[in-house]
Structure 1
C-alpha cells in the first residue's frame, strides 16, 4: 500500500504541472487585465508601466509561469493583485467553510440516495421506482442557482424559517445553532443535486448485485429477504458507490462556486467568483492549484478506503 501511495503521489506531480500550465495560459490570454480595475485615468503611461511591472505582468508568458512555479515550490503562492494579501492566507481563511458545506451536502446526498436507491432497486418498475427515478432526474436537471433562489423565496422570504445568506447572524450569539441554521439551505441545495446523481448509482449497483448467484443461494437457504438485502446485497452494492464519491468531489467543488455566491457563504467558491470578476490572476492560480490538490488527495483517500472496506482489493 505504501508503494502504491508513493506512486500515486509521483504521478500526480506532472498532472498538477500540466493543469497549472494550461490554466496559466488560459487565464493570461483572456481579454482584459487586472490593471483595468485599478488604473486611474490621470495616470501617465510610465505610471501604468510601473504598476504592470509591480504586478509581475511584464515579460513573456513562459517566464512569468516559471517565476510563479518557482515561488510555489518555495511555499509562496504570491499576493492578491486586488487586496495585496498573501494568497495562501485568503485561501486558508475560506477552506473550512467550504469543506463544511461540501461535507454537509455529501452527507445529505447519501442520506437521501441510499434508502431511495435500495428501495428503487428492490421494487423495480413499481410506482416507488418511477417516482425515485423521476426525482433523481429532476435533482440533476434543476440548476443549482434556480433551486437556491426558490429555497430562499420559500424558506426565507415567505416562511421566514431560515436565513437567506451568510454564515452567522451579525450582532447576535453566533453559536452552533445559529451557524447550523445558516448552513441548512446551501447544504440542502447542493445535497439535492448530489442525491440525484447518487440515487442512480446506488440503484444500478443494487440491481447488478441482486442478480448474482450467491443471493439466490442465500434465499434458497431460507434467509429472510431483509437479511439478504441488508446484509449481503447492500454491503457489496455500496462498494462501487464509494469509488464514485471521489468523482463527486469535483462536482461538489463546482457546485460550491455557484451555491456560495447565491447564499453569500464565505468560502472558496465566493473567492473564486470575486477573483474572476477582478481578474486577480495570482489568486485564481492559487485556487486552481488548491482545487487540483483536493481532487487528487480525495481520490487517493477513496482508493485507500475502498481497499480497507473490500479485502479483495490489494494495491501493489
Structure 2
C-alpha cells in the first residue's frame, strides 16, 4: 500500500508539472495584459505600456516566466494580482472557503439522496416508481444549470420571500400535497393493492399532519425544531438507522438507537441553554465539530453498555443516531436566532438571498452568521444538487441492477438470508465500487465547474475569481485556479483507487 501511494504521488507530481507548463503556455497565448492600453487614448500610452511590460516581465521568454512562477509556487508564493495589487494567496483564501461551503453541501446531499433513490428504483425495477424516477432523472440531467439557477432565484427566493410576508397555505393545497406524497410512497414501497392503499393512506396522513402542524403552530413565522419535532424525528432516525445498520430484529441495536434518541430529547433544553448562554461568545466550527464527535462517542458508549455478542453493531448504530440527533439540536439552535435575523435592517424581511455569500452589515453573534450563511447557500446548493442528483441516481440504479443479478446474490438468498441482509450487506457494498470512481472526480468537477452557478448567484468563490481574472487578463490568479483544480484532480484519482481497495479486497492496489 505504501509503495503504491508513493508511486502514485510521484507520477501525479510529474503530471502536475507537465500540465502546469502546458497550461501556462496556453494562458500566456490567450491573455493579453496590454489589451486595455493598446486601445487607450492616453498621451502617455507608450510609457504606460513599457511600465506594464516591465512590471509583468513580458519582455522575457515565456519559459523563463514559467520557471520564475513555478519556483515561487514551490516556495509557497503564488504571485500577486497586478489588477488588484493583492497577493493571490489572499484572494484564494476567501474564494476557496466560499466554494468548499457550496460544493460540500451540494455533494453530500446529492450523494445521499441520489444513491438512496437510485437503489430503491433498482429494487423496484420496471415499476411505476422506477419509470417516474427515470423520467425525472433524465429531465434534471438535461436542464441547463443557468436556467435552473434563474428559476430558483425567481421562485425559491422572490416567491418564497413574498410568501413569508403572509405565510399561509390553502388547505386544498395541503391536502393535494398530502395525496401526492401518499401516491409516491405507495409507488416506492410497492406490493399488493391492499398494502399500497395502506402505505398511501399513511404517507398522505403523515404529510397532511406535518403541514397542518407547521401551519397552525406558526412555524413559518418562527421556524424551529423544538421538542415535539425533535422527538418524532429522533425516533424515525433511530428506526431508520437501525433498519439499515443491523435490522430491526437486532433488539440491542434498536434499544441503543432509541436510548440515544430519548437522551437527545431529554437533553434538548440543557444543551441549548448551555450553548446559548455560555459557549456563544467562543463558538466556532471547530467547537461545533468537537461537540458532534462527543455526541457520537456517547452513542458508541451506550451501545457498548448494552453489551451482547454483537456490541460493535450496537455501538456503530448508537454513534450514528447520536450524531444525527446532535445535528438536529445544532440546527434548532441556529434557527432560534431567526427573529433577530429576519427583522434586522440588513435582511429587511427577505431572508432567502439571491446574491453573495453573506449579508453586509448584518451584525449579531456566531449563530446569526451561520444562519445567514445557510440562507445564502440554499439556492446555489439546490442548483448544483439537482443536476448531481440525477447523475448519482442513474449511476447507483445501474450499478445496483448489475450487482443484484450476480451469482453471489442468488447464493445469499438460497442460504436463507433476509432480503435486508442481501440488499444492504451484499448488494449495497458492491454497488459503491463504481461510485468510488465517480464521487471523487465529481467533487473536483464541482469545485472547478461551479463557475456558472457562482456567477449567477454572485458568490465570491473560485469560479467567480477565475472569471474575473480571465476578464482582466490577470495571469497569476488564473494559473493558481488551474493549478489547484489540476492538483485536486490528481488527488481524486489516487483517493478513488484507495477506496476501491477498501470496498473490494479482490482489488490489489499494487497490481
Q: TM-score range by the shorter chain?
A: over 0.9
Query: 2:436 touches 2:500 (CA, 8 Å); kept in 1?
Result: yes
Sort the Cα spacing of 1:224 and 1:266 in 2 relative to 1 into closer, same or farther, 3 A.
Answer: same
Sort the Cα spacing of 1:151 and 1:38 in 2 relative to 1 into closer, same or farther, 3 A.
Answer: farther
Match of 1:33 in 2: 32
User: C-alpha distance in 2, partners of 1:254/1:59?
Assistant: 30
Sort the Cα spacing of 1:140 and 1:295 in 2 relative to 1 into closer, same or farther, 3 A.
Answer: same
Match of 1:289 in 2: 483
The 5 Å alignment of 1:1-316 reads 1-30=1-30, 33-37=32-36, 41-160=42-161, 162-172=352-362, 173=364, 174-316=368-510
1:34 aligned counterpart, secondary structure: coil
User: C-alpha distance in 1, partners of 2:505/2:20?
Assistant: 36
Match of 2:312 in 1: none
Sort the Cα spacing of 1:130 and 1:38 in 2 relative to 1 into closer, same or farther, 3 A.
Answer: farther
Sort the Cα spacing of 1:138 and 1:42 in 2 relative to 1 into closer, same or farther, 3 A.
Answer: farther
Query: 1:144 touches 1:255 (CA, 8 Å); kept in 2?
Result: no
Query: 2:448 touches 2:462 (CA, 8 Å); kept in 1?
Result: no
Q: Deviations over 1:126-166 (max 9, x none)?
A: 22112212222222211111101100000111221621122
Q: Deviations over 1:164-214 (max 9, x none)?
A: 122122232342222112111111111111111111110111011111111
TM-score by length of 2: 0.59
Query: 1:109 touches 1:192 (CA, 8 Å); kept in 2?
Result: yes
Question: Which moved further from structure 2: 187-196 or 64-73?
Answer: 64-73
Unaligned runs of 5+ in 1: none
User: C-alpha distance in 1, partners of 2:101/2:90?
Assistant: 18
- The total of aligned residue pairs comes to 315
Question: Which moved further from structure 2: 113-122 or 301-310?
Answer: 301-310
User: C-alpha distance in 2, partners of 1:122/1:100?
Assistant: 33
Sort the Cα spacing of 1:44 and 1:177 in 2 relative to 1 into closer, same or farther, 3 A.
Answer: closer
User: C-alpha distance in 1, partners of 2:453/2:465?
Assistant: 12
Query: 1:113 touches 1:196 (CA, 8 Å); kept in 2?
Result: yes
Deviation at 1:38, TM superposition (A): 6.2
Query: 1:190 touches 1:255 (CA, 8 Å); kept in 2?
Result: no
Query: 1:105 touches 1:191 (CA, 8 Å); kept in 2?
Result: yes
Question: Which moved further from structure 2: 1-10 or 214-223?
Answer: 214-223
Query: 1:37 touches 1:278 (CA, 8 Å); kept in 2?
Result: no
Indicate the RMSD between aligned Cα atoms, in angstroms.
1.9
User: C-alpha distance in 2, partners of 1:244/1:55?
Assistant: 40
TM-score by length of 1: 0.93
Query: 2:501 touches 2:508 (CA, 8 Å); kept in 1?
Result: yes
Query: 2:357 touches 2:460 (CA, 8 Å); kept in 1?
Result: yes
Query: 1:108 touches 1:192 (CA, 8 Å); kept in 2?
Result: no
1:75 aligned counterpart, secondary structure: coil
Deviation at 1:312, TM superposition (A): 3.2
User: C-alpha distance in 1, partners of 2:495/2:90?
Assistant: 26
Structure number with bigger Rg = 2
Query: 1:249 touches 1:295 (CA, 8 Å); kept in 2?
Result: no
User: C-alpha distance in 1, partners of 2:386/2:419?
Assistant: 30
Question: Which moved further from structure 2: 258-267 or 154-163?
Answer: 154-163
Query: 2:432 touches 2:503 (CA, 8 Å); kept in 1?
Result: no
Question: Which moved further from structure 2: 302-311 or 183-192?
Answer: 302-311
Sort the Cα spacing of 1:15 and 1:315 in 2 relative to 1 into closer, same or farther, 3 A.
Answer: same
